[in-house]
């Protein structure tokens, strides 16, 4: 285990204070003690030795002073941040150091020798320069406004910390606007990570489930046959003979993978085991919603069974480590409720990684052999994202709007929250507890925490669904349900191209100024208002009390054309029972059929011809 850094306060000066067990703040290279899984090695170091950039208008001595002042500023943010701010973590120090090195390079070309020379005019010139930069090296896209905000925040923090520093802006560089306003950062420009579209999410999750549940054992059997046969052949002393024996054994076994291809050679088996590991990651991310750092932190024995009260039934949990908002560089051990398919995926991962764990002496479940150094190392975020996209190509995930969907690891977490938010908002408290393991029993054991990130994701998806539903309802000419009749009687000004901007402005007002949320179900929408809710819900529809017959009499109900299949199917099922029903049952069936006919007439159904 790596040693913990000694307290900064024990150091005689800021330059001698340790930023890690191996580096001081005054050093020209920092080796940081960041243990969050998934980070590349270069993300755990900062090189402050930077040559004077081309076209610089300051001296080498001034450039060295700026780099030293930047280190001094980061020391102050780590030890004594501005009032109301948390101490910067080591990962924050690394990201802020990258920003400061870029600012220092710009200052050198601008002829600014000290941070004290930065004023409002300099900040304006910096913004112009940043907007002209690429998002990243070799990328054609421009820098995002969120990234520009980070640069401006660093300068603003330099000003806030001026009393603790030898060199800092002495006048407010942003006196009349916030960093967000100066960067042009708004809802329209922030560019959040997207959720996976429904059709794409269903395709990749279904494929991953198929690999895990139906072909996991087959692939592991093929790998066991290959290894055993290869060792038998290798015992003869000829490497070529070992490969021949392995191929022969695999062909005799006659195993096939999910695509139907024969697992008859080392190449086919290795690719199958690689994709199986990717499928396991997708299943865990998609059905538990853990962050990528949490999934990559899983180790042998990651599944733990705990009794549910005195029921005699055990609940499975995934044991991993939480790093976000946690001060301990090792993270904090937490537990996530795990459905059976996730337990299966973790069991497969343990068997898949056994050989690499033995060879490396490590106990992580996600390991890979580095082809350049032949070392066995943990999988990084970047590598995992690339592998998910490779899996999607291999299993034939369909294109989205004419081109392949670009997956990232965090999209699965957002999509998980979105599915829960859309289907049953009565489960949101349970969802928050699930992400942080806050069952009553675990609360008593001190495992509770507030996952604000999750709550923001869920609220964002709930608002997005409300906005999408409002846009369709306000522009519709035919709607069913009592609320639907009221909407179509008054929404003429919102319809068509002429009403598009009016509609957008009205929806923005609704989302900003009210707490209105539209709740989905299979047969319609509930524009929830407590005082008229026939289901008796207090803050949202009561899932136990809502039903088609109840909702049709409710003033909150809206039905649109997308719900036609449900009502058509409900009518057909009731009509099929009618010929053999007794008089009392027939009366109930006829009432249900009449409800379906009325709804289908309201929303303009023409028996599937539209």
CA dist., res. 84 & res. 91, Å (int): 20
Residues 206 and 326 in one domain: yes
DSSP letter assigned to residue 134: B
Asked if the structure places residue 528 within a domain, the reply is yes
Residues 136 and 239 in one domain: no
Asked if the structure places residue 570 within a domain, the reply is no
What contacts 63, CB < 8 A, 6 or more positions away?
50, 52, 56, 104, 108
Q: How many domains does the chain have?
A: 3
Rounded to two decimals, the pTM is: 0.65
Please tell me the predicted confidence (pLDDT) of residue 425.
Answer: 45
pLDDT tens sequence across 21-60: 999 998 989 999 888 888 888 888 999 988 888 888 999 9
193-210: burial string, b at 16+ Cβ within 10 Å, e else: eebbeeebbebbbebbbe
Q: Can you spell out the DSSP letters for 180-204?
A: HHHHT--TTTS-PPPPPPHHHHHHH
pLDDT tens sequence across 568-609: 999 999 999 988 889 888 998 999 999 999 999 988 865 543
Residue 206 has pLDDT above 70, yes or no: yes
* Token output for 223: 């790998």
Residue 319 has pLDDT above 90, yes or no: yes
Could you tell me the pLDDT band of residue 106, with boundaries at 50, 70 and 90? very high
Strand, coil or helix: 557: strand
Most confident of 391-395, 447-451, 483-487, 496-500: 391-395
What average pLDDT does range 174-189 have in this prediction?
Answer: 71
Asked if the structure places residue 604 within a domain, the reply is no
Dihedral pair phi/psi, residue 7, rounded to 5°: -60, 145
- Return the H-helix or E-strand segment holding 606: none
Q: Which of 267-281, 516-530, 588-602 has the lowest mean pLDDT?
A: 516-530
Q: Are 292 and 299 in contact (CB under 8 A)?
A: no
Please tell me the predicted confidence (pLDDT) of residue 439.
Answer: 33
Q: What is the C-alpha radius of gyration for the chain, rounded to an integer number of angstroms?
A: 30
- Return the H-helix or E-strand segment holding 270: helix 266-288
Asked if the structure places residue 54 within a domain, the reply is yes
CA dist., res. 105 & res. 173, Å (int): 19
* Token output for 74: 């980061």
Q: Are 482 and 560 in contact (CB under 8 A)?
A: no
Residues 554 and 516 in one domain: yes
Residues 297 and 341 in one domain: yes
Q: Where are the beta strands (DSSP E) in 102-214?
A: none
Residue 321 has pLDDT above 80, yes or no: yes
Please tell me the predicted confidence (pLDDT) of residue 440.
Answer: 29
Most confident of 82-96, 174-188, 235-249: 82-96
125: left (phi over 0), alpha (psi -120 to 50) or beta: alpha
Largest CA distance in the chain: 99
Q: Are 14 and 75 in contact (CB under 8 A)?
A: yes
Asked if the structure places residue 554 within a domain, the reply is yes
What contacts 586, CB < 8 A, 6 or more positions away?
578
The residue among 530, 559, 588 that closes a domain is 559
Q: What is the CATH number of the domain that holds 423?
A: 1.10.443
Please tell me the predicted confidence (pLDDT) of residue 214.
Answer: 92
pLDDT tens sequence across 108-121: 999 999 999 999 88
Residues 155 and 204 in one domain: no
In order of 285, 317, 440, 442, the CA distances from 305 in angstroms are 20, 6, 16, 13
Residue 6 has pLDDT above 50, yes or no: no
Strand, coil or helix: 491: coil
CA dist., res. 578 & res. 494, Å (int): 43
Please tell me the predicted confidence (pLDDT) of residue 610.
Answer: 36
424: left (phi over 0), alpha (psi -120 to 50) or beta: beta
Please tell me the predicted confidence (pLDDT) of residue 238.
Answer: 61
Sheet with 314-322, strands from edge to edge, namely 303-307, 314-322, 332-337
Q: Which of 20-24, 36-40, 98-102, 183-187 has the lowest mean pLDDT?
A: 183-187
Residue 69 has pLDDT above 90, yes or no: yes
The residue among 158, 183, 208 that closes a domain is 183
Residues in the chain: 610
Could you tell me the pLDDT band of residue 99, with boundaries at 50, 70 and 90? very high
Q: Are 242 and 234 in contact (CB under 8 A)?
A: yes
Asked if the structure places residue 349 within a domain, the reply is yes
Residues 248 and 397 in one domain: yes
Residues 204 and 312 in one domain: yes
Residues 40 and 138 in one domain: yes
Asked if the structure places residue 234 within a domain, the reply is yes
Q: Can you spell out the DSSP letters for 370-410?
A: -TTT--EEEPPHHHHHHHHHHHHHHHTPPPBTTB-----HH
User: Greater confidence, 139 or 56?
Assistant: 56
Residues 464 and 495 in one domain: yes
Q: Are 19 and 77 in contact (CB under 8 A)?
A: no
The residue among 559, 578, 595 that closes a domain is 559
CA dist., res. 362 & res. 60, Å (int): 45
Strand partners, 322: 332
What average pLDDT does range 172-187 have in this prediction?
Answer: 76
User: Greater confidence, 365 or 496?
Assistant: 365
Q: Within 13 Å, how many C-alpha atoms sit on residue 349's CB side?
A: 30
pLDDT tens sequence across 419-468: 766 555 444 444 444 444 333 232 222 222 334 455 555 566 667 777 77
213-228: burial string, b at 16+ Cβ within 10 Å, e else: bebbebbbebbebbee
Strand, coil or helix: 352: helix
Strand, coil or helix: 523: coil
What is the sign of the dihedral through the CA atoms of 150, 151, 154 and 156?
negative
Residue 331 has pLDDT above 60, yes or no: yes
Residue 297 has pLDDT above 60, yes or no: yes
Residues 249 and 360 in one domain: yes
Q: Are 100 and 73 in contact (CB under 8 A)?
A: yes
Residues 93 and 140 in one domain: yes
Q: What's the domain range around 521?
A: 453-559
CA dist., res. 19 & res. 70, Å (int): 14
Residue 5 has pLDDT above 80, yes or no: no
What average pLDDT does range 265-275 have in this prediction?
Answer: 91
Residues 426 and 465 in one domain: no
Please tell me the predicted confidence (pLDDT) of residue 516.
Answer: 77
Please tell me the predicted confidence (pLDDT) of residue 609.
Answer: 36
**Mean residue pLDDT across the chain:** 82
User: What percent of the chain is modeled with pLDDT above 70?
Assistant: 85
Please tell me the predicted confidence (pLDDT) of residue 456.
Answer: 56
Which residue bears the tokens 């057909």?
A: 572
Asked if the structure places residue 444 within a domain, the reply is no
Please tell me the predicted confidence (pLDDT) of residue 530.
Answer: 83
pLDDT tens sequence across 355-398: 999 999 999 999 998 766 678 889 998 899 999 999 999 999 99
pLDDT tens sequence across 536-556: 888 778 877 888 889 999 988
């Amino acid at each position: 285990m790596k040693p913990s850094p000694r307290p900064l306060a024990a150091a005689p000066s800021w330059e001698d204070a340790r930023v890690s067990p191996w580096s001081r703040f005054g050093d020209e290279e920092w080796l940081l003690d960041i243990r969050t899984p998934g980070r590349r090695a270069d993300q755990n170091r900062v090189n402050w030795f930077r040559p004077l950039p081309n076209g610089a208008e300051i001296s080498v001595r001034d450039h060295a002073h700026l780099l030293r002042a930047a280190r001094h500023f980061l020391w102050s943010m780590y030890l004594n941040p501005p009032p109301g701010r948390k101490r910067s973590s080591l990962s924050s120090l690394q990201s802020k150091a990258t920003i400061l090195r870029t600012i220092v390079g710009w200052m050198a070309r601008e002829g600014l020798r000290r941070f004290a020379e930065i004023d409002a005019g300099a900040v304006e010139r910096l913004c112009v320069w940043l907007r002209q930069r690429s998002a990243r090296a070799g990328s054609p896209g421009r820098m995002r406004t969120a990234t520009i905000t980070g640069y401006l925040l660093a300068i603003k923090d330099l000003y806030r910390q001026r009393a603790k520093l030898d060199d800092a802006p002495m006048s407010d560089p942003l006196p009349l606007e916030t960093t967000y306003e100066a960067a042009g950062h708004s809802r329209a420009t922030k560019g959040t990570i997207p959720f996976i579209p429904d059709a794409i999410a269903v395709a990749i999750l279904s494929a991953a489930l198929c690999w895990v549940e139906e072909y996991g054992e087959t692939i592991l059997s093929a790998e066991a046959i290959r290894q055993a046969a290869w060792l038998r052949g290798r015992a003869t002393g000829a490497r070529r003979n070992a490969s021949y024996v392995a191929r022969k054994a695999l062909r005799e076994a006659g195993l096939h993978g999910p695509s139907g291809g024969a697992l008859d050679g080392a190449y086919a088996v290795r690719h199958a085991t690689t994709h199986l590991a990717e499928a396991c990651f997708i299943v865990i991310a998609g059905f538990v919603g853990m962050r990528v750092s949490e999934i990559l932190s899983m180790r042998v024995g990651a599944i733990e069974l705990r009794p549910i009260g005195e029921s005699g039934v055990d609940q499975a949990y995934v044991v991993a480590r939480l790093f976000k908002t946690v001060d301990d560089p090792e993270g904090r051990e937490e537990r996530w409720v795990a459905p059976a398919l996730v337990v299966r995926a973790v069991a497969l991962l343990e068997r898949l990684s056994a050989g690499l764990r033995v060879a490396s002496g490590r106990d992580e479940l996600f390991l890979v052999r580095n082809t350049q150094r032949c070392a066995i190392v943990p999988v990084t975020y970047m590598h995992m994202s690339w592998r998910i996209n490779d899996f999607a190509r291999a299993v034939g995930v369909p294109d989205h709007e004419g081109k392949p969907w670009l997956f990232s690891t965090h999209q699965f977490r957002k999509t998980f929250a979105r599915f829960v938010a859309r289907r049953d908002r009565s489960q949101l408290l349970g969802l928050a507890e699930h992400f942080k393991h806050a069952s009553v029993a675990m609360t008593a054991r001190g495992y509770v925490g507030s996952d604000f990130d999750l709550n923001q994701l869920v609220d964002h998806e709930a608002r997005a669904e409300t906005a999408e539903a409002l846009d369709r309802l306000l522009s519709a000419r035919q709607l069913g349900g009592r609320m639907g009749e009221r909407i179509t009687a008054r929404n003429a000004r919102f319809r068509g191209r002429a009403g598009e901007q009016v509609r957008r402005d009205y929806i923005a007002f609704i989302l900003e100024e009210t707490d209105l949320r539209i709740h989905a179900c299979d047969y319609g929408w509930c524009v929830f208002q407590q005082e008229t809710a026939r289901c008796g819900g207090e803050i949202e529809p009561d899932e136990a009390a809502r039903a088609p017959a109840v909702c049709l009499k409710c003033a909150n109900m809206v039905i649109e054309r997308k719900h036609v299949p449900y009502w058509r199917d409900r009518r057909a099922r009731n009509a099929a029972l009618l010929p053999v029903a007794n008089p009392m049952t027939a009366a109930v069936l006829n009432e249900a059929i009449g409800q379906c006919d009325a709804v289908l007439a309201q929303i303009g159904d023409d028996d599937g011809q539209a």
